Structure 1
Amino acid sequence: MNPLQARELVIDIPGRSSGQPLNFTVGPGEIWGVLGPNGVGKTTLLHTLAGLRPPRSGSVHLGGHSLVEWKRRQVSKQLGLVFQDRQDGFPATVLETALIGRHPWLSPWQMESAEDVGKARAALEALDVGQLRDRLVNTLSGGERQRVAIATVLTQSPDTWLLDEPTNHLDLHHQVAVLGLLRARARKGCSVFMCLHDLNLAARWCDHILLLFPGGEACWGESRQMLVPGALERLYGQKLRTAEIDGAPVFVPAGNSDPQSS
């Protein structure tokens, strides 16, 4: 398993003159959650870590080597990315879409084997969309399409998972199921790095947290150190009330939206 590292990484946010350099390592078995208000650069960070956008400065390393030294096929074997929004460029069934996850492992013009198809079918079943395998993706609901996207990465079998709002469009049952699947992958040695909006999901499922503040400031560390009311209220400009359920903190917004006013 190759750790993913940000070294003096400054992501390129239009209109922002600078930003705090990021230096962190996403190790095997770890689940990282990225929190911050809208427009702070969470998606840009994810795309930069995947090698889809160049950083303003610094570098991303995979297994000790700069990401730019890797061929894209090698990167695709190591990193799997779930986008926040997807566009269906051409009609494809759910099974055909999941099989895209096997493409990094195939040579040019090589057809998927029965084993590849079996992996795709198993992934769809794991995401509770196996019964939809013959449906066209563009006929599915938002939640169903989200689960197909995650099943595609599961079919890909990367060591590192990068996910942008993986619980987007999902009902409560499927949110828990997806996060449980990601925890199971982490327990098998995979690394998980995901952007989230829900503080309570982050508190329950993530062992490391990265906070991105407006203006470019950032801090990161173990969840118990990061998920404290003072930092979170400053992050969102929102007063919070906290409780604890089953050993995990729970955050709810207080009536006053300005944490500095009381």
Structure 2
Amino acid sequence: MAALATHRLLIDVPGRADGRPLDLRLAPGERWGVLGPNGAGKTTLLHTLAGLRPPRSGEVHLEGRALSGWRRRALARRLGVVFQERHDDFPATVRETALIGRHPFLSPWQQEGPEDHARAEAALSRLDLSHLAERELATLSGGERQRVSLATVLTQAPAVWLADEPTNHLDLHHQVAVMGLLAEQAEGGGAVMMCLHDLNLAARWCSHLLLLYPDGEACWGPAEAMLAPAALERLYDQALTRVEVDGAPVFVPRC
């Protein structure tokens, strides 16, 4: 059974024709990258898959059941979302924020227990945040806040990760660390779908790719089949040169 699947899904992008319906099957162990230019609908797709935005038509299924059939708390235990940007309305420390990932597993007014705290501490360590645990979010850099978002979802431990620009604001070292983390989630039986602007990160780390064009056209499949320069040049309206580095494709823009 697919961890996440769509049936004839059309995402609702205002002012755009319907385009190609999406029939996707995201299986445990797979790492899907969503590529496309600005405005192609990458964020809209992820929000639709998470049940945060209704589709124009079609359905999304999580573990064989339509999203509409899931109670919100049960859904939050199985599916986690890393947003491209987050707005923190209330003061909180890094540790308090990571513990939010355990809320779907707690009854109303229940306090976090030792296991919840242990999960949060492990997540902070994995994202290189332990030394910032008592810092207020408002005092962090953009990259540090992004790693807190990832640590919160790691504390949640969902079966399906939907990550919108997970490497946003990150330096090179932490970009590689985060892509390694997402690969670990898939290798442990999870399923990951991430929107990416960095074509080379997608080529290096993704098992499957979904290409979204501004007019609603889409194509998808195993990464090695989708990394054709002609298709990518049309996707980005940019000439590219493909080279091999340590057996992996690397794409360099041509002027």
Partner amino acid, structure 2, of 1:125: S
Q: Give the 5 Å matches for 1:194-233.
A: 194-233=194-233
The TM-score normalised by the length of structure 2 is: 0.99
Q: Which runs of 4+ in 1 moved over 4 A?
A: none
Q: Distance in 1 between matches of 2:117 and 2:249?
A: 41
Q: Helix, strand or coil: the match of 1:179?
A: helix
Residue number in structure 1 paired with 2:247: 247
Q: Distance in 1 between matches of 2:138 and 2:162?
A: 23
- Is 2:93–2:133's contact at 8 Å kept on the other side of the alignment? yes
Q: Distance in 2 between matches of 1:198 and 1:178?
A: 13
Matched, 1:167 2:186: no
Residue number in structure 2 paired with 1:156: 156
Q: Helix, strand or coil: the match of 2:202?
A: helix
Q: Helix, strand or coil: the match of 1:80?
A: strand
* Same amino acid, percent of matched pairs: 66
Q: Distance in 1 between matches of 2:44 and 2:141?
A: 26
- Which runs of 5 or more structure 2 residues have no equivalent in the other structure? none
Partner amino acid, structure 2, of 1:107: S
Residue 111 of structure 1: how far off its partner (Å): 0.6
- Is 1:11–1:19's contact at 8 Å kept on the other side of the alignment? no
**What are the Cα deviations for residues 189-243 of structure 1, in whole angstroms up to 9, with x where unaligned?**
0001000001100000001000000110000000001011010000010000110
May I ask how many residue pairs the two structures share in their alignment? 255
The TM-score normalised by the length of structure 1 is: 0.96
- Which runs of 5 or more structure 1 residues have no equivalent in the other structure? 256-262
Residue 108 of structure 1: how far off its partner (Å): 1.0
Residue 247 of structure 1: how far off its partner (Å): 1.3
Residue number in structure 2 paired with 1:99: 99
Q: Please tell me the root mean square deviation across aligned C-alpha atoms, in Å.
A: 0.8
Residue number in structure 1 paired with 2:109: 109
Residue number in structure 2 paired with 1:68: 68
Q: Distance in 2 between matches of 1:184 and 1:130?
A: 20
Residue 2 of structure 1: how far off its partner (Å): 5.8
Q: Distance in 2 between matches of 1:210 and 1:42?
A: 10
Residue number in structure 1 paired with 2:124: 124
Residue number in structure 2 paired with 1:146: 146
